[in-house]
Amino acid sequence: MMRILIAEDELLERKAMRKFIEDNFSDIDVVGEAENGRKAITLANTLAPDIIFMDIKMPGINGLEAIEQINSVTPSIKFILVSAYDSFDYAKKAMRFGIKEYILKPGKKDEIVKALLRVQKEIEEERVQSQEKMQSDQLLKERLIMKLMHHTIDESVMETQRDLYPDMKSGFFLVCSGADWGQLEETLARCIADPYILLQSEGNITVCVLAQKIHSKADLLTLARKIQLDSGMFIGIGYPYTHIGQLPKSYSEAYAACFQLAGEQNSRYGFLKRTKERAIDEVISTILDEVTKGNNEQAIATFKKHASRFSSADRENLYIEMKSILLKRDIATEEHSVSALKSTQDFQTFITMSCLKLNEYYQSKQYLMQAKTYIQNHYQSAITLEETASFVNLSPNYFSNLFKQEIGETFIDYLTKVRLQKAKELIEENLYSLKEISYMVGYKDPNYFSRVFKKYYHDSPKRFQQGIFKK
């Protein structure tokens, strides 16, 4: 049922419009009438109509002013303007708010019907699109939480997070046992202010919170207590992490904590308690430290020495932490989970591949540092990409791709930026002519230098110089 509000200062006009709509549209409900712009604003907020018939000329706040205020709060409301004046100025102002329907008084019945049908069709199409988007987003959210739960961190996970949760500052998992789905949904809606994803599996309900601020352990305990008091379930809490690649670890912690709580029956919410001395954690830290440095031999030697002591949870923890090391540096990883590493040899291969990727990453950074230093020292001359690639002992094609990928701009764009920044500094010093500065920053043609400078700074070198002198 479509909901409509009639805003018209003439009582007879309002009643006539109401009767006409009610007599001709069984699927439209007239939810209210407003005799002026201020009343229209109030009723728009309280009645939430889909369409407003808005007279332009009304006492106090006129129709266009009312539309502007309503539109700023509820932009989804559609408007059909009604006016006794055929004024292009009104139509122009209305177009700013996306209003296409404009009826002159006295409105012909067929014009009103056509306008309503057009707006009705537009609303229905938008509703279908909105529903399709909601379904698509829900599917993406379910895929995201499933991948996080199964430790399958790939580029699609990070892309989904950037698209759906661009403001994520931290994230964590809750695993709830003994909960009723409907009741929990209501409880979470009241207790959690941040965006979250729900999934029911294996008799548990898993909650992934992707928060817009960094949460502490105390925050999570307070949240879990609120949820638990309202629902009476067991709630295992995973630690909060700031990178999407670390969230599988939070899920593992929450899952283990939930079953630990249910088994002990002492508390109904909390983090996983370490029940034994975890000297193996120091071993994991040592391996991670060596992997971070790219020291494959030392990392493998430490892993082999203690491999027999690793539980499946320890291996999972090591795997997640290693993936996180790579992801923090935007290094692509294989799209498999820890379950794919079935043997000790598989895990050693994963360690080796991680070290190789990190060494390639560090080497790339070293090449680029050398290239940037070379550019800083030789920008005055006619240096080329090929010349710079040769200096760092890379092929021109590989160097070009590496430079664009890591620096975010082409070699030429970067060189131009360096030259023009230096030119700007020299102009500000006011010690040399513009022609001299052109040569000093590597441009042999002063006219070409002027064109490049203007394109980059949106002003010619001469006008830029004059602007400095005026200050």
pLDDT in tens, 220-264: 999 999 998 887 789 999 999 998 888 988 998 898 888 888 877
Question: What CATH number is attached to the domain comprising 58?
Answer: 3.40.50.2300
Average pLDDT over residues 400-427: 90
Instruction: Say what the pLDDT of residue 405 is.
Output: 82
337 by Cβ neighbours in 10 Å (0-12 / 13-18 / 19+) ranks as middle
396/312 same-domain check = no
Q: In this predicted structure, what is the pLDDT of residue 94?
A: 66
pLDDT at residue 78, rounded to an integer: 92
Question: In terms of domains, do 255 and 179 share one?
Answer: yes
Higher-pLDDT residue of 272 and 208 is: 208
pLDDT of residue 256: 85
Count how many domains the chain has. Answer: 4
* C-beta separation of 241 from 172 below 8 A: yes
For residues 393 and 296, membership in a common domain is answered with no
Same domain (yes/no): 262, 160: yes
Percent of the chain clearing pLDDT 90 (strictly above):
39
Please tell me the least confidently modeled range out of 16-25, 83-92, 145-154: 83-92
- Average pLDDT over every residue of 306-311: 84
Angle made by CA atoms 247, 252, 257, in degrees to the nearest 5: 125
Q: Judge if 431 and 353 occupy the same domain.
A: no
* In a shared domain, residues 7 and 35: yes
Pairing of strands 269-271, 234-237: parallel
pLDDT digits (tens, 9 = 90+) for 86-96: 555 666 666 66
- Owning domain of residue 227: 152-271
Asked if residue 106 has a cis previous peptide bond (ω within 30° of 0), the answer is yes
Residue 307 in contact with residue 351, Cβ under 8 Å? no
Q: Is the pLDDT of residue 329 over 80?
A: no
> Does residue 332 surpass a pLDDT of 80?
no
Of 31, 10, 134, nearest in space to 82 by CA: 10
What pLDDT is recorded for position 277?
Answer: 45
Average pLDDT over residues 261-274: 84
Structure tokens at 134: 């909601």
Query: Where are the strands (E) in 51-111, listed by range?
Result: 51-55, 78-83, 101-104
Full DSSP string of 315-350: HHHHHHHHHHHHHTTT----S--GGG--SHHHHHHH
In whole angstroms, how far apart are CA 104 and each of 70, 84, 169?
A: 22, 6, 53
pLDDT in tens, 26-79: 999 999 999 999 999 999 999 999 999 998 888 889 888 999 899 889 988 999
Does residue 114 fall inside a structural domain? Answer: no
Do 158 and 261 reside in the same domain of the chain? yes
Residues 15 and 96 in one domain: yes
Q: Does some domain include residue 72?
A: yes
The gap from C-alpha 169 to its chain's centroid, in whole angstroms, comes to 10
Please, what is the angle between helix 446-457 and helix 461-470, to 10°? 60
Mean pLDDT over each residue of the chain, to the nearest integer:
87
Query: pLDDT over 70 for what percent of the chain?
Result: 94
- Residue 139 maps to a domain: no
Q: Is residue 145 part of a domain?
A: no
Name residue 169's amino acid: K
Q: Are residues 385 and 351 in the same domain?
A: no
- Give the model confidence (pLDDT) of 154-200 as tens digits: 788 888 999 999 999 999 999 998 767 778 888 899 999 999 999 98
**Is residue 393 predicted with pLDDT exceeding 70?**
yes
Q: Is residue 137 assigned to a domain?
A: no
Rounded to an integer, the average pLDDT of 318-335 is 80
- 165 and 267 assigned to the same domain: yes
- In the structure, what pLDDT confidence band is assigned to residue 420 with cuts at 50, 70 and 90? very high
315/216 same-domain check: no
pLDDT at 84 over 90: no
- The reported pLDDT for the residue numbered 92 is 62
Q: What is the CATH number of the domain that holds 392?
A: 1.10.10.60
Q: Domain boundary at 250, 271, 292, which?
A: 271
Same-domain status, 14 and 43: yes
pLDDT of residue 278: 53
Does residue 329 or residue 431 have the better pLDDT? 431
